[in-house]
């Protein structure tokens, strides 16, 4: 039975700020509104039990295009398959949607694309603690062969 795998889910959430930008004065406020939006989203994510914990393995990257905002980050999780990992990442965003939209923005789209996580760091850690895997196999083979060699010399 498969216990699941580790996945990195590239998560993109698109927002539209509730800011019409009409008039010269309002357009001058847009950079401040964008900065406040970033602070608001970071606060919401930090306060959430899942999003504020170790599930997010990258920085929150914000890209602004006028009133449109795209938030991108990597969501790392252990799941049965890619579809479940993607669904879990989207679910976590939906769980804080009300708080996110409390700033005066609307979530337009949540896009999640899962890929198998790079777990080479774990192999390196295990090799450092327990010794290289190939070395233990080679050592076992060498011990087995040297045992057979000694026995075969004794039989002669």
Residues 55 and 69 reside in one and the same domain: yes
Per-residue pLDDT band at 1 (split at 50, 70, 90) = very low
**Distance between CA atoms of residues 64 and 42, nearest Å:** 16
Contact 8, 75 (CB under 8 A): yes
**Domain ranges, residue 150:** 121-155
Residues 109 and 148 reside in one and the same domain: no
**Distance between CA atoms of residues 14 and 69, nearest Å:** 6
Residues 145 and 90 reside in one and the same domain: no
Residues 99 and 31 reside in one and the same domain: yes
**Distance between CA atoms of residues 61 and 70, nearest Å:** 8
CB atoms within 10 A of CB 88: 19
| pLDDT in the model for residue 154 | 44
Contact 10, 74 (CB under 8 A): yes
State yes or no: pLDDT of 20 exceeds 60.
yes
Q: Which residues, in sequence order, are CB contacts of 152 under 8 Å at separation 6+?
A: none
Question: Phi/psi zone of residue 18: left (φ > 0), alpha (ψ -120 to 50 degrees), beta?
Answer: beta
Tens digits of residue pLDDT in 84-136: 999 999 999 999 999 999 888 999 999 999 988 765 555 566 677 788 876 55
Where do we find the tokens 């850690």? Answer: 125
Residues 109 and 147 reside in one and the same domain: no
pTM of the predicted model as reported, rounded to 2 decimal places: 0.70
Tens digits of residue pLDDT in 52-79: 888 999 999 999 997 899 999 999 998 8
Residues 98 and 73 reside in one and the same domain: yes
DSSP state letter for 37 = H
Percent of the chain with pLDDT over 90: 47
Residues 24 and 78 reside in one and the same domain: yes
114 strand-pairing partners: 9
CATH number at residue 89: 3.30.70.1120
């Amino acid at each position: 039975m498969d216990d699941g795998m580790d996945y990195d889910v590239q998560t993109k959430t698109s927002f539209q700020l509730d800011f019409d930008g009409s008039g010269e004065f309002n357009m001058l406020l847009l950079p401040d509104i964008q900065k406040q939006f970033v602070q608001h989203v970071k606060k919401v994510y930090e306060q959430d039990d899942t999003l504020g914990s170790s599930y997010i393995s990258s920085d929150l990257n914000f890209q602004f295009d006028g009133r449109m905002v795209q938030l991108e980050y990597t969501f790392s999780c252990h799941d049965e398959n890619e579809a479940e990992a993607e669904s879990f990442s989207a679910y976590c965003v939906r769980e804080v949607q009300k708080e996110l939209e409390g700033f005066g923005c609307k979530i337009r789209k949540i896009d999640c694309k899962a890929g198998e996580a790079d777990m080479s760091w774990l192999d390196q850690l295990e090799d450092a603690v327990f010794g290289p895997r190939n070395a233990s196999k080679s050592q076992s083979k060498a011990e087995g062969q040297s045992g057979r060699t000694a026995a075969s010399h004794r039989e002669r």
